[in-house]
A and B are shown apart, each in its own frame.
Chain A
């Protein structure tokens, strides 16, 4: 049985007080509770401070290019459906550089869990606006303030009737663990947008700012009600709902649409040379 110690302990390159620490602990807890062994887990990440998280876990890791987590994860999951594939990166990587892949992944609905650390700012490149930065957010790159409306990833995902759409907060670890577990258990693509503070570069959306606004959805909230989920996902202001905003239980995962003769890892599958011989003969 997996234990939280199995995830290991590593020295990180994060700033003191960063929301990433709590997210890392929540991930470890969720993995231990899920019962999955380290070698059954693949974490695919991109580039950014959040994308370093898999390096601080004992798991298989494919730390690829900035923005390209989802295509790499898609390929890996197709190649070995037995792997539990988690995609972990920040808001810039997931929604900015990787925006097109985000939409395509939600359409595909492969069995992936996306953990998007969302601190509304770029950390690794030192403080530029991210796709989720609020209007007027001032940085060295946006000295007059951000001029574009922020991207709302959960609203987009609900609109697309994605597999599972959730929002968490790094300051509510126990709740976050439950969201990650729900994502791991969901048989399609699960998006967990995780609000977190950035103590170095975001002095507007601070830990206290989120703490004051984030409210867990009430127990009677029905995440299968799409129209209600649209309205809930759109909420952003004095109250920011956290929890599982939407679940689509009707949509089969992408894998269900693939006509393949063999299940399991492609690495172990042979070539049927008799069939190939027939195929070549059909060119006559």
Chain B
């Protein structure tokens, strides 16, 4: 935590292009070698409202947002008024010369003099770049790459506005916001959680993604759709979420590694399909990007309210696995793993993410995909006993799976209870044998549970428990508590929340003096699940459910209040 960190917030109305500025500034920072974590806050509307794009940047890795703002790039007066109170001690407001905040530290930018009206974004970007000491050529490169192919005639205009802005900034706060120079030669890409999920799926061999648009999940299928032609997959916008999951299941049955992506309300519609996956033993990967509910809730905010729903979704009894990535790298690798797990266990596998992580850009080492295998549904098949029986009773519960049409053998899958050959039955002894078979597959899942990550003192007095996207904020709170209060602290982060394997974590819980579950919900859903599975009661709780992402400040002030 000794590396200086800077928190830049760009604020304005929807439609002003603040996301473009944010993305270009992020790319420029990452191309300069910095790490960052982006937090996007927006309202469920296309124009107007108040939106922010926050970039927390450092030479060291950054995984979480922070509350205090060091550099506020205000595209309108409302942004200044809303965020003045959040400025840090060195905080600076960058705003149009027409805005006159009652504040010492502000930079009045003469936008009208530095470029035309449509260059407003470029000027704001230029001011940020100049204050941060970024190489202007590098910023210009990012701008060209973004606008170049769309508006070739605007390139010269953008370049002029940028250089005029850099010149104007000379001598103004030039040292206040310059971070130590990063070491050279570490090439990174800028990717958010949903993009990493899409890349992980592509690397695992996804061939069909069906979806119905729902914030904050939609950028997964959109990212896939942009590459569908090059990667040879089909992305289909279905008529509703029910169609989406049934389409993916039909495709998976016919041999295509398949996925769906949705959020809580859409997932509610998919639930019968989850059960169909369980019954027909058809692999599927289901991405659920959480936002606050119930019902339509807060469509563009973040939450961790749907763990219990995803765990219990689908009538009847059948196994499942639920991953909850905490970083961009985990989004990629756990999505890959989800495809393999789904194929291996022939059951639904979930990626449980949320709006914060979905939209949070980070600097990541480009994933080295050359050595990564993809699932090959048609090649995994052992020689089968004839006549082929799709649901042959086996010791592991997993039956040899053939793909229809690829051999002379017929593949019969049924949502009714069925005999080994897949035909519907009402023989109750068969029903018991089939239920047992399906549930035996949980042992297959238990063999490869991702152990929770532990970071901290071996004999932690205060042990934090968290899951999914809260990882960065909780790690930061833990190390700050250790440094500032001289406490022995540790964090258990669960990137897989089902099945739970108590041997991987229970003794840590039992050894700590105080255990605190930090969750993005009101009821402590993981804490309750751990109690159900182990009997261990986590008494300390930090719960955030106002729709905003967790921060170390929130955790520490909640603890102080207890």
Cβ contacts A36-50/B at 8 Å (1 or 0 each): 011110101001000
- The chain A residue with its CB closest to the CB of B377 is A267
Question: B99 contacts the other chain (Cβ, under 8 Å)?
Answer: no
Q: Tell which of A70, A100, A271 has the most Cβ of chain B within 10 Å.
A: A271
A3 to B: closest C-beta gap in Å: 15
- The chain B residue with its CB closest to the CB of A56 is B423
Asked if B229 and A260 sit within 8 Å, CB to CB, the answer is: yes
Question: A216 contacts the other chain (Cβ, under 8 Å)?
Answer: no
Asked if A279 and B251 sit within 8 Å, CB to CB, the answer is: no
Give Cα distance in the complex from A83 to B250, angstroms: 12
Question: A234 contacts the other chain (Cβ, under 8 Å)?
Answer: no
Question: Known interface pairs A71-B250, A79-B250. Does A61 touch B413 (Cβ–Cβ under 8 Å)?
Answer: yes
Asked if A104 and B239 sit within 8 Å, CB to CB, the answer is: yes
Name the B residues within 8 Å of A284 (CB-CB).
27, 30-31, 187-190, 366
User: Can you list 9 residue pairs at the A/B interface with Cβ under 8 Å?
Assistant: A61-B422, A64-B246, A78-B256, A79-B254, A104-B243, A265-B405, A267-B378, A270-B205, A271-B202
Q: Which of B398-456 contact A (CB under 8 A)?
A: 403-416, 422-424
Give Cα distance in the complex from A76 to B282, angstroms: 12
Question: A258 contacts the other chain (Cβ, under 8 Å)?
Answer: yes
* Segment at the interface with A among B48-56, B214-222, B230-238: B230-238
Name the B residues within 8 Å of A58 (CB-CB).
410
B139 to A: closest C-beta gap in Å: 14
Give Cα distance in the complex from A123 to B244, angstroms: 28
- The chain A residue with its CB closest to the CB of B370 is A273
Asked if B243 and A269 sit within 8 Å, CB to CB, the answer is: no
Among all A-B residue pairs, the 8 with the closest Cβ atoms:
A267-B255, A75-B250, A72-B250, A75-B251, A79-B256, A71-B246, A79-B254, A60-B404
Question: A65 contacts the other chain (Cβ, under 8 Å)?
Answer: yes
Asked if A265 and B27 sit within 8 Å, CB to CB, the answer is: no
Asked if A100 and B243 sit within 8 Å, CB to CB, the answer is: yes
Give Cα distance in the complex from A93 to B422, angstroms: 21
Asked if A38 and B202 sit within 8 Å, CB to CB, the answer is: no
Name the B residues within 8 Å of A47 (CB-CB).
415
Give Cα distance in the complex from A104 to B246, angstroms: 14
Question: A211 contacts the other chain (Cβ, under 8 Å)?
Answer: no
Name the B residues within 8 Å of A267 (CB-CB).
254-256, 376-378, 403, 406
Question: A182 contacts the other chain (Cβ, under 8 Å)?
Answer: no
Give Cα distance in the complex from A281 to B409, angstroms: 43
Question: A52 contacts the other chain (Cβ, under 8 Å)?
Answer: yes
- The chain B residue with its CB closest to the CB of A261 is B232
- The chain A residue with its CB closest to the CB of B408 is A39
A187 to B: closest C-beta gap in Å: 18
Contact for A265 among B233, B234, B378, CB less than 8 A: B378
Asked if A265 and B210 sit within 8 Å, CB to CB, the answer is: no
Contact for A76 among B187, B207, B253, B406, CB less than 8 A: B253
Name the A residues within 8 Å of B30 (CB-CB).
284
Give Cα distance in the complex from A25 to B555, angstroms: 69
Interface size on B, residues (CB 8 A): 75
Name the A residues within 8 Å of B406 (CB-CB).
80, 265, 267-268
Asked if A266 and B208 sit within 8 Å, CB to CB, the answer is: yes
B358 to A: closest C-beta gap in Å: 15
Contact for A276 among B203, B252, B273, B405, CB less than 8 A: B203
Give Cα distance in the complex from A92 to B463, angstroms: 56
- How many contacts between A and B, using CB within 8 angstroms? 222
Name the B residues within 8 Å of A79 (CB-CB).
207-208, 250-256, 258
Asked if B240 and A265 sit within 8 Å, CB to CB, the answer is: no
Give Cα distance in the complex from A55 to B418, angstroms: 11
Cβ contacts B346-390/A at 8 Å (1 or 0 each): 000000000000000000001101101010111000000000000
Known: A61-B413, A76-B251, A276-B231. 5 other contacts (CB 8 A): A39-B404, A79-B254, A79-B255, A80-B404, A281-B366
A58 to B: closest C-beta gap in Å: 6
- The chain B residue with its CB closest to the CB of A259 is B229
Question: B199 contacts the other chain (Cβ, under 8 Å)?
Answer: yes
| Residues of A that sit less than 8 Å from B by CB | 37-40, 42, 44, 47, 52, 55, 58-65, 68, 70-80, 82-83, 100-101, 103-104, 258-262, 265-277, 279-281, 283-284
Name the A residues within 8 Å of B249 (CB-CB).
64, 72, 75
Asked if B232 and A269 sit within 8 Å, CB to CB, the answer is: yes
| Residues of B that sit less than 8 Å from A by CB | 27, 30-31, 187-191, 195, 199, 202-205, 207-208, 210, 227-234, 236, 238-240, 242-244, 246-258, 272-273, 276, 280, 366-367, 369-370, 372, 374, 376-378, 403-416, 422-424
Name the B residues within 8 Å of A262 (CB-CB).
232
Question: Known interface pairs A44-B250, A72-B250. Does A275 touch B208 (Cβ–Cβ under 8 Å)?
Answer: no
Give Cα distance in the complex from A42 to B412, angstroms: 9
Asked if B415 and A83 sit within 8 Å, CB to CB, the answer is: no
Give Cα distance in the complex from A71 to B253, angstroms: 12
Name the A residues within 8 Å of B190 (CB-CB).
283-284
Question: Known interface pairs A71-B242, A75-B247, A76-B253. Does A82 touch B405 (Cβ–Cβ under 8 Å)?
Answer: yes
Asked if B239 and A100 sit within 8 Å, CB to CB, the answer is: yes
Name the A residues within 8 Å of B367 (CB-CB).
280
- The chain B residue with its CB closest to the CB of A8 is B410
Give Cα distance in the complex from A39 to B236, angstroms: 27
Q: Tell which of A62, A63, A258 has the most Cβ of chain B within 10 Å.
A: A62
Question: Known interface pairs A39-B405, A39-B409. Does A101 touch B374 (Cβ–Cβ under 8 Å)?
Answer: no
Asked if B230 and A42 sit within 8 Å, CB to CB, the answer is: no
Question: Known interface pairs A71-B243, A281-B366. Does A64 touch B250 (Cβ–Cβ under 8 Å)?
Answer: yes
A80 to B: closest C-beta gap in Å: 5
Asked if A101 and B227 sit within 8 Å, CB to CB, the answer is: no
Name the A residues within 8 Å of B236 (CB-CB).
74, 78
Asked if B239 and A103 sit within 8 Å, CB to CB, the answer is: yes
Contact for B254 among A38, A76, A103, CB less than 8 A: A76
Name the A residues within 8 Å of B239 (CB-CB).
100-101, 103-104
Name the A residues within 8 Å of B240 (CB-CB).
100
Give Cα distance in the complex from A65 to B314, angstroms: 13
Contact for B242 among A37, A44, A68, CB less than 8 A: A68
Name the B residues within 8 Å of A280 (CB-CB).
189, 199, 366-367, 369
Name the A residues within 8 Å of B191 (CB-CB).
283
A68 to B: closest C-beta gap in Å: 4
B320 to A: closest C-beta gap in Å: 18
Asked if B412 and A60 sit within 8 Å, CB to CB, the answer is: yes
B137 to A: closest C-beta gap in Å: 15
- The chain B residue with its CB closest to the CB of A54 is B412
Asked if B255 and A73 sit within 8 Å, CB to CB, the answer is: no
B318 to A: closest C-beta gap in Å: 15
Give Cα distance in the complex from A82 to B405, angstroms: 8
Contact for A80 among B229, B244, B405, CB less than 8 A: B405
Question: Known interface pairs A68-B243, A72-B246. Does A261 touch B208 (Cβ–Cβ under 8 Å)?
Answer: no
B274 to A: closest C-beta gap in Å: 11
Name the B residues within 8 Å of A270 (CB-CB).
205, 374, 376
Contact for B246 among A37, A65, A78, A259, CB less than 8 A: A65
Name the A residues within 8 Å of B228 (CB-CB).
259
